[in-house]
Amino acid sequence: MKRISSIFSTAYFSISLILTIATVTGAMSITSPKTLHKYVAPSFARAFFRNIPTHKLRIANLPTPIHQVEPYEYNDLGSGKGSGSSKTSILQPLWDLNITLLMKRDDMSGGVELGGNKIRKLEFLLADALQEQNNEDGTGSRKCDAVVTIGGEQSNHCRATAAACRMVGLEPHLILRTRRANQVEKAKIEENEDTFGYIGNVMFDRMVGAHIHMCTPGEYGRFGNKALVERVCRDIETESSSSSSSKKKRKAYPIPVGGSNAMGTWGYIDAVDELVQQLKIGENTSTSDDDGGDDKSDLYESIDHIVFACGSGGTATGITLGIGLAYYELNEQPPRVHAVGVCDDPDYFYAEIESIGNEMGLELTTKSLTRSLSSNDSSISSSIMEFVKGLVQIHQGKGLGYASSTQEELDFIAEFALETGVVLDPVYSGKALYQFIKEVMNKPEEFRNSRIMFWHTGGSLGVYDKIDALAPSLERLSGISRMDVYGKKMVGDD
């Protein structure tokens, strides 16, 4: 099997050639981010889904690359306190099992404002928002001019939504769940002081002028994300209706937590199609025994396992269903999918995948569909849950809880950055990879000699919220010293 690097040399050459031809012929054009592009679903999806979007935006930097993580040997891991002694790589458990680790870099999908997995979903969600929406009171339809979504205080989804909304001319409203909601509101009322802060994703939320609505975790749990989003949408529309008649009546578009619904999930159906195209390495031509003609089939780089963090279920739904249907079309055994849940329990996520699949109009009625799950099983299955459980294993990986990190998890993130130059986030990708490596160590024979692709879903801005807890690791890995610019030791230096 050819090395992964050869794929991308060929791919980049092909893309460059296509771009050159398109430029010469005038086929390419520069368009506004808010331009609606007609959407054609991947061939593997068209036969199985009833509810397919008609349009999407193109605001992400796609395709995102796949990188191979190389094992390194260090004599000096870092330059800070306690460095200088030999230390085992944090990825050594993988290397000991002869595992090849690849990374699909969705953290590179859209720059610091848009980067991560959410922009793929937003290309479909905001395209839908920019089209005519029916009014709930049956009085016709009109386009939305505001978007309302919800998430945690350091929500990557909210940050990407706010920035993307400004790109396409929509007003962003973010409901942020925070234990400080009452404290911040009290300071605002009594002292006329804004104490919400500007750390991490919140900095970018505020830089693009998002309207931030705070709620407590208790209120979030009591009412649910859908009801809270609908309430803010209703407030926006009611306020415009009750104002002067000369003011434009407003319409708000609701997006659920994580952008995880049927519309948003198409972002990761498309992502699977992108992945399959990246894994294509050539064409196999053999002589047919029947007619002497050529029997051509595509050759693909093999992947045994796909691993990613799971927080609200949309990405997990798109990857799981996409992988199952894409490899069914290829008549190949699919890689085993591993979703590491960072908040709820596995049963919740299985049910969420089934629910979103139903919302997308998934129909598994084609004969022998389950041959994509097991070479020894050619039975017919029309159950979404059975299909899903044959493809994905959902691991319990929440540790101390959503957005809560152990010191071991934070040390792993810091040392992974040192060894690879890639920054993981403490809420999703870092916790997921840390927990999955523990799974590999517990079941080594299940993963020995395999090729594992870790799908990096972004969120690195979340490390800013963990600065105090990360400080000991950073001081150990990265030393600070006064430069001896005069060629002699400075007075007072030790």
Sheet containing 305-310, strands listed edge to edge, beginning at the edge strand earlier in sequence: 66-69, 100-105, 451-456, 305-310, 336-341, 392-396
pLDDT of residue 168: 98
Top-tier CATH class for 145-250: alpha beta
Q: Give the Cα separation of 423 and 433 in Å (integer).
A: 12
Residue 489 burial by Cβ neighbours in a 10 Å radius (0-12, 13-18, 19+): exposed
The tens place of each residue's pLDDT in the chain, 494 residues long, gives: 444 444 444 444 344 434 333 333 345 578 899 999 999 999 999 999 999 999 999 999 999 999 999 987 665 555 555 554 557 899 999 999 999 999 999 999 999 999 999 999 999 999 999 998 777 666 667 789 999 999 999 999 999 999 999 999 999 999 999 999 999 999 999 999 999 999 999 999 999 999 999 999 999 999 999 999 999 999 999 987 665 555 678 999 999 999 999 999 999 999 999 999 999 987 776 544 455 555 566 788 999 999 999 999 999 999 999 999 999 999 999 999 999 999 999 999 999 999 999 999 999 875 445 444 444 444 435 689 999 999 999 999 999 999 999 999 999 999 999 999 999 999 999 999 999 999 999 999 999 999 999 999 999 999 999 999 999 999 999 989 989 899 876 555 55
> Which tens digit of pLDDT belongs to each residue from 372-385?
444 444 443 568 99
pLDDT of residue 368: 43
Pairing between strand 146-152 and 252-254?
parallel
Pairing between strand 336-341 and 392-396?
parallel
Sequence-distant (6+) residues with CB within 8 A of 475 are 80, 81
478 is catalytic: no
Residue 29 burial by Cβ neighbours in a 10 Å radius (0-12, 13-18, 19+): exposed
pLDDT of residue 380: 36
Asked if 467 and 200 touch (Cβ cutoff 8 Å), the reply is no
Question: Tokens in use for 329?
Answer: 């079309």
Asked if 452 and 102 touch (Cβ cutoff 8 Å), the reply is yes
Instruction: With both helix axes pointing from N to C terminus, report the angle between 118-129 and 156-168 in degrees, rounded to the nearest 10.
Output: 40
User: Measuring CA to CA, which residue among 350, 379, 378, 381 is closest to residue 364?
Assistant: 381
Cα distances from 375 to residues 31, 74, 244, 332, in angstroms, run 46, 43, 67, 9
Of the residues 32, 79, 85, 155, only one is catalytic, namely: 155
Q: Give the Cα separation of 92 and 124 in Å (integer).
A: 40
> 44-113+261-282+298-463 and 145-250 share one CATH topology?
yes
Long-range contacts of 25-31 (CB under 8 A, 24+ apart): 31/58
> What are the sequence ranges of the domains in the chain?
44-113+261-282+298-463, 145-250
Report which secondary-structure segment, H or E, holds 257: none
User: Measuring CA to CA, which residue among 287, 419, 445 is closest to residue 433?
Assistant: 419
Q: Give the Cα separation of 236 and 54 in Å (integer).
A: 27
User: Measuring CA to CA, which residue among 70, 97, 89 is closest to residue 442?
Assistant: 97
Residue at token pair 């010469």: 24
Q: Write down the H helix ranges in 243-345.
A: 262-279, 314-330
User: What DSSP letter does each residue of 410-455 carry, written as one string?
Assistant: HHHHHHHHHHHS----TTTHHHHHHHHHHHHHHSHHHHTT-EEEEE
From the DSSP assignment, how many helices (H) and strands (E) are in the chain? Answer: 18, 16
Top-tier CATH class for 44-113+261-282+298-463: alpha beta
